Amino acid sequence: MSSKQQDPLDIEVGRRVRSLRLEKGMSQEKLGNQLALTFQQIQKYENGTNRIGAAKLQRIAQILGVSVSALYPDPVPAGRTSQEVAELIDTGSTLRLLRAYSRMRSPSLQRALTTLVEEIAEKS
């Protein structure tokens, strides 16, 4: 791989950082300030242009209140490419739905909501 090619894993980690940062309502500037970096450097990390080193990845996880493993992409659901999944998660309304769903404590309510949304999607 040439030095100009972006590594797919770096891109996915950057997207995950962006998603979690947005979920926390944090700007690139605020995250950068906590890391003693510019917002432009955070943009480069989030775009996968620059690789995030291990120590910096650990610090980002601490700031975002997640484990380092949370910054790595989840397995891609069957029938979806990682690009499609990233694009779905990248929208504001999807993030709001995911946040609300994750706050639900009842597995039976989660199943009921999932069924309801699937039925609505089939009819629209």
How far apart CA 8 and CA 65 sit, in angstroms, is 24
* Host H or E run for residue 86: helix 82-89
Compute mean pLDDT per 10 residues along the chain, 124 residues long, and list them: 72 90 92 96 94 95 90 66 67 77 84 87 84
pLDDT score, position 75: 60
Phi-psi region of 112 (alpha: psi -120 to 50; beta: other; left: phi over 0): alpha
Question: Does the reported pTM lie above 0.75?
Answer: no
Write the CATH number of the domain with boundaries 1-90.
1.10.260.40
pLDDT score, position 34: 97
Token pair in block for residue 120? 């609505």
How far apart CA 22 and CA 33 sit, in angstroms, is 16
pLDDT score, position 1: 47
Q: Where are the domains of the chain?
A: 1-90, 92-124
